[in-house]
Amino acid sequence: MIKRLQQARDEGFGIVEALVAILLFGILAVALVPPIIAALKLSADSTTVASAAQVAQGRVEDARSAAGTCADFVAFLAQPIPSDLTDSRGARYSMTQSAVTSDGTDAVSDPGWCVDSAVTAVTYTVAVTSVDTEVADVADVATVIAVPGLQ
């Protein structure tokens, strides 16, 4: 009978073994949590950059489609650009644009560049900046657009 009681006591975990296991899991958690948090932050920043690049590329595509005639492109540049954009995750962005002709004229503020019948090369740039994160200038997209002059 004494032998049976000793066998019963040896089976299973005791409180000391359970505490040691909890301590080991705690040490592992402390070692693994910072890299996991850093990876999640990097993933969020990458998503922010990808969303901003998509917004900028969409604006450039709009500019390309508006460049069928000089008058249409000047009208496109005169439209106010969306200043407060929000993506599906709720991240907020601001957007700026610039358009410079091949002779250095600012095509946004001076629509007089569009006067002759020659094709004018315009360097169109869109910059999208994140409002909510530490990433300052998250996406710049630039392209050269050939704009036919007035006929």
Q: Locate the domains of the chain by residue range.
A: 2-147
Cα–Cα distances (Å) from 54 to 28, 93, 112, in that order, read 39, 12, 31
Rounded to the nearest 5 percent, the helix, strand and coil shares of the chain are: 50, 25, 30
- Alpha carbon dihedral 102, 108, 113, 118, in 10-degree steps, equals 60
Per residue in 96-139, pLDDT (tens digit) is 888 898 888 888 888 777 776 677 888 999 888 888 766 565 78
- Dihedral sign (CA 65, 67, 69, 71): positive
Tell me the whole-structure pTM to 2 decimals: 0.69
* CA-wise closest residue to 94 among 62, 63, 61, 48: 48
User: Quick one: pLDDT at residue 35?
Assistant: 92
Coil, helix or strand at residue 100:
strand
For helices 70-78 and 15-66, angle between their N-to-C axes, nearest 10 degrees: 140
Q: Which residues pair with 120 in a beta bridge?
A: 147
Per residue in 72-93, pLDDT (tens digit) is 888 888 888 877 788 777 778 8
Per residue in 25-56, pLDDT (tens digit) is 999 999 999 999 999 988 888 888 888 888 88
